[in-house]
Amino acid sequence: MTLWKQTIAEAHKRLSKREISPVELLHSVQARIKEAEPSVHSYLSVFNEEAEAQAKEAETRLKGGGEVSPLTGIPLAIKDILCIRNQPTTCGSKILESFKPPYDATAITRLRQAGAVFTGKTNMDEFAMGSSTENSAFGPSRNPWDLTRVPGGSSGGSASAVAAGEALGALGTDTGGSIRQPASFCGIVGMKPTYGLVSRFGLVAFASSLDQIGPMCHTVEDCRLVLDAIAGHDAKDSTSATFKLSDLKSYAEAGKADASVKGMVVGIPKEFFGAGLDPEVRKVVMDAAKKMESLGARIEEVAFPSLEYALSAYYLIASGEASSNLARYDGTRYGLRVSGPTTKAMFTATRSRGFGLEVKRRIMLGTYALSSGYYDALYLKAQKTRTLLKNDLDKAFKTCQILLTPTSPTPAFKLGDKTSDPLAMYLSDIYTIPVNLAGIPGLSQPGGFSSENLPIGVQLLAPAFHDYVLLQAGKSLETALNLQKRTPVENLSHGNQPATV
């Protein structure tokens, strides 16, 4: 078996048995990156020297010289919004093109402690603002299933890297669906954990009350292994939850072979199936519901009447927080500086040249919403709507352990299709946004395929801190559907049109 094709769990077993070495595994992934990268453009930077050193250190651990975990020697890609010491952290923006942070994000520190190997930093929509990776200042990534289509966003580079075999897993970030939507488009598993479960220290902020780091992998089991490594309280993050992982795991026996949805009540929010939902997506989700029912779950229709307000509330809150967070990029402390005759002129010139169109649009929207005379009418009302959304979800979870919904209204769309229509682009996240507003966990996993052979994801939701119950349900459905081995074609090096193998 080609080494880069393995799941994290499979590779860990072979590494533990000394059937393969971390260096061999890394070299296989690096060769795959060299072959596929000209077609998919998943990476903004590749860490050859550092990755080699990490692989050799993992080799020493595995020979008995150090602590071993399920991630020891595993090649992982990192979204370029997470700080890695002395490595480029651009956030997909010209304004940070030369920035190299002097410290690691907490999630990176924990992956280092687990013995993971970092293959590089992946492409993304600038400052995580987008749903297609077309807003990257360094060019778009492409979907390995069809190179004419987007991989989703903003974690599109991480999604395409995993789907194309350029990493065994990856970290992404999710502010309004930026892990789950690209996971759906690229046919992989992506998880947005409960807000506060994974430390945000070292994550370059877009919207601080919404951002969350999460895993993107081939299987639900692999996502669990990564989550185990990065989750937990962090004193450096004031929003970090104090829950112990052992307490959360007591809610479910996730990851075991007998994980089951038997006896669970699975809710289907009827408002998620209205106008705008592609019929093929609807069929895939309803087929997944039938499959869960056949596994012993009880399916119930539930109401989520506030869904129609979610998009408006999200973009007011997220843009308001972005306008505050991005005020630090002024040319005086780090990143790009464009000289001007006065301080104000320097600020203006730096931001004008450094920020892209979408980032400027959201800063302007957020600043307007927070301005005197509009705060109560816009931002405050959006926050009240956020509470309404959370109350609707809490009500649904009184009778259901899990909710099942579409991840995105459509399969992956073509590059350029929505760049001239921001609202159409924003609607790509209509089903994922409520999860971030409420702070609950969400999981997107492959549910089926369209008539054009494009992956379609289904989304599972659970109450806050029931992340391992969510993983249990996801693994049960994944085993029943048995889609995880269906992948894009191997040869992407010459821009070949992907199919399935």
Q: Supply the residues annotated as catalytic.
A: 79, 154, 178
User: What is the arrangement of strands in the sheet containing 402-406, beginning at the earlier edge strand?
Assistant: 43-46, 117-122, 75-79, 169-174, 212-217, 189-192, 442-449, 455-461, 402-406, 265-269, 298-302
Q: What is the 3-state secondary structure (H, E, C) of 309-333?
A: HHHHHHHHHHHHHHHHHHHHCCCCC
Give which of 467, 470, 443, 463 is closest to 184, Cα–Cα. 443
**Token couple for 448:** 């089926």
Alpha carbon of 73 to those of 25, 139, 261: distances in Å?
A: 8, 30, 33
Residue 59 host element (H or E): helix 48-60
**Token couple for 159:** 């999604």
Give backbone dihedrals phi and psi of 274, rounded to 5 degrees, phi first: -90, -155
The residue type found at 20 is I
Strand partners, 217: 169, 189
Contact 80, 124 (CB under 8 A): yes
Other CB atoms within a 10 A radius of the CB of residue 163 amount to: 29
Within 13 Å, how many C-alpha atoms sit on residue 201's CB side?
A: 21
Mind giving me the DSSP string for 74-124? Answer: -EEEEETTB--TTS---TT-GGGTT---SS--HHHHHHHHHT-EEEEEE--
Provide the 8-state DSSP code for 376. Answer: I
